[in-house]
Structure 1
């Protein structure tokens, strides 16, 4: 039986809950924090990607998550000009400072692992290859891989 009366809404709610549950397994049982982590890391990743690839990534996200991904979207500022893993971490940390303490590295790991599990391998590979080499090192699936 439909919860919302629309299958598309039921599917996106179900998918979003799965993603949040997986993030909570890594950062602790706080759904609000999991949503903040998911939104923050996805937006940080989006802002570092070339515009066309950012749009392709957004198209693969569950509808509800896609809304968070595009919140505050300004294509005139893409991609950002920072190139290091530390800059990526600092940006995430700054955006999470108003939430319950969670390490930026833990947040990034949790979201990248969700992307690895739920997006096509081809899309993950394209996103990975578009990132500067230093930032690539943050992606757990590819840790230590130079491909």
Structure 2
């Protein structure tokens, strides 16, 4: 059996690790497993808040492994969720940290939004942001709207 790897898988894994490392560094946590859990929680909540069309558009720009995380466990028949206010988003993310509560969920979510902002085209980011309520949109970098 050959020891050669499939380049797309190797590159995808490297990109996913880079995203987790960046998020961990941005939050100054020193806990990559926790940073991954946060990334996954925010991606899943975003996915559930977005229309099916927007989920498809956004996913096309995600690295292959991150895209797999994004879609893991998704039931499109339940999207988008009806409660889509900022507090609903934050509560959903925080629910993944029941045994390890986030000090400041707004700061944690904003860190993931900044990470996504660095890696996804501005056109797609604008579409995703515009699909969110203003209070949640305020967590995106460079966005200042009235609450």
Give the 5 Å matches for 1:1-147.
5-27=5-27, 28-99=29-100, 101-142=102-143, 144-145=144-145
Q: Distance in 2 between matches of 1:57 and 1:48?
A: 12
Structure 2 residue matching 1:60: 3-state secondary structure: coil
Greater alpha carbon shift after TM alignment, 80-89 vs 42-51:
80-89
Greater alpha carbon shift after TM alignment, 64-73 vs 81-90:
81-90
Q: Which runs of 5+ in 2 are unaligned?
A: none
Deviations 1:50-78 (A, max 9, x none): 11111111121111111111111011111
Q: How far is 1:26 from its partner? A: 2.5
Q: Distance in 1 between matches of 2:107 and 2:37?
A: 13
| Structure with the largest fraction of helix | 1
Displaced runs of 4+ in structure 1, greater than 6 A? none
How high is the TM-score relative to the length of structure 2?
0.88
Count of matched residue pairs: 143
What CA RMSD, in Å, does the superposition of the two structures yield over aligned residues?
A: 1.8
Q: Which runs of 5+ in 1 are unaligned?
A: none
Q: Distance in 2 between matches of 1:79 and 1:32?
A: 28
